[in-house]
Amino acid sequence: MVNLVIVSHSARLGEGVGELARQMLMNDGCKLAIAAGIDDPDNPIGTDPIKVMEAIESVADTDHVLVMMDIGSALLSAETALDLLDPAMAAKVRLCAAPLVEGTLAATVSAASGAGIDKVIADAMNALEAKRVQLGLPSHTPDAAAPTLADDGDAKSVSVIINNHNGLHVRPASKLVAALAGFNADLVLEKNGKCVTPDSLNQIALLQVRRHDKLRLLARGPDADAALAAFQALAADNFGESPEAQPTAEPAIPARVEGAALLYPLAPIQPALPAAADVAREQQRLRQAIDQTLADLNALTELAENKFNADIAAIFAGHHTLLDDEDLFDAANDRLLTEQCSAEWAWHQVLMELSQQYRQLDDAYLQARYIDVDDILQRTLRHLQGIKETLPFASEPTIIIADNIYPSTVLQLDASQVTGLCLRDGSEQAHGAIIARAAGIAWLCQQGEALNDIQPGEAITLDMRQQRLIRR
């Protein structure tokens, strides 16, 4: 775990950066402390080594503390603070050269997701890259880990224009991963200079490929021509979607939906960090839980096909593809080996990091996919801990009240009794919303404090035209 200290010459700037950073926190995986300005009303601009020392001490109950600084004497004050600290505590502290605002935000997201100190620093140092790309400036710190394939005599490429209304979201991206699997060729997918290896649904999704974007596949190797041909054929078929087709007719949702309130807490499993006695056993447990989850997703895909249509079934087929990614398992194995932790902890850290990546996307449609990752994570954790899934049960017209809800839960609802879903958070573009509409269940999200103090069984109404909850 990594906590952060913000050091600035200005108290207002330090507090402002801290406020922005706290908005990035989705959990308590990172603590923030601020040491900004000096206690001199006439000359408040400056830094105080004692303040920095005290700030570090306040968040030192962790593996590492990363100090973010602005300019000049902020570095000197931080270095002096290290000299003043107990040597054992000082050994936990790293000073970061990243820009204060962007670097702190990136470091906060990374640390809150459970990343180690080296990755947190790397994310902070690369925090300006997105801005540089957006402004059309060259990268100062190219990512050495990013796949590249030079345009030389051995490399071939084809480019396509994406016509899908929602771009390469999870369903067409799943088809692309499947279509390119098994070719004996080095493959790189490129959009606007950003490259990914197209064997990972996660990486393709993070390219944020939207309608009308130009997408290029580069290939080298014995099967290069075949891979490029498969890519072209899939693109010509719009990755299995019809770009001009009208959406499948959905059951009409009444202007007002009534029912008795049923409170359904999300209650996600939050693993602790116990030491694992046997890494090999934890690896085996994780593999078994993933296999069980993959079997669940096959069953959910079949259920969706039977209840609705192929489009809804493709949601869970996409979940299956996302989970069946050896990179995820390998990342969890790395944590098991380096941290000597439980399978639950390792898997939670890896998938929460992926969930956080989706949350930070600026595309609302792709951003809403974080709940899919959370759904898969919790299903796997239940298998690891032997916990049965608990679904809401309704014996009368019911409106479910929840902070959010997983797509797999919505799929399994009895639409003859569940008339509506009313969420404190959530998104109209979430897969749960798509499934609810297909089932004829009203979906009302982002209701926030309006859901406070609702009692189980209370008669409530969802005003779908005004997008509000009415308590009767």
Catalytic residues: 9, 169, 431
CB count within 10 Å of CB 393 equals 11
> What is the three-class DSSP state of 62?
coil
Closest CA to 155 of 197, 185, 125, 194: 185
Lookup: tokens for 195 = 């490259």
Torsion of CA 202, 206, 208, 214, to 10 degrees: -80
Q: What residues are paired with 65 via a beta bridge?
A: 3, 93
Quote the CA–CA distance of 347 and 384 in Å, as a whole number.
Answer: 10
DSSP for residue 43: S
Nearest alpha-carbon partner for 399 in 253, 245, 223? 253
The count of C-alpha atoms lying within 13 angstroms of the C-alpha of 102, restricted to the half-sphere facing its C-beta, is 13
DSSP secondary-structure letter at 239? G
Q: What dihedral angle (degrees, nearest 10) is formed by the CA atoms of 55, 57, 60, 66? A: 40
- The helix or strand, by DSSP H or E, that contains position 286, with its residue range, turns out to be helix 279-307
Secondary structure of 385-405 in the HEC alphabet? HCCCCCCCCCCCCEEEEECCC
Reduce the DSSP state of residue 35 to 3 states and report it.
Answer: strand
With beta carbons less than 8 A apart as the criterion, state whether 68 and 100 touch.
yes
DSSP helix/strand/coil, 219: strand
DSSP string, 112-170: HTT--HHHHHHHHHTTTHHHHHHTTPPPSS--TTS-----STT-EEEEEE---TT-S-H
Structural contact between residues 461 and 258, judged by C-beta atoms closer than 8 angstroms: yes
* Closest to 159 (Cα-Cα) out of 206, 130, 192: 192
Contact 454, 443 (CB under 8 A): no
Residue with tokens 């990243």: 98
Residue 448 DSSP symbol: G
Separation CA 178–CA 180 (nearest Å) = 6
Question: How many residues would you count in the chain?
Answer: 472
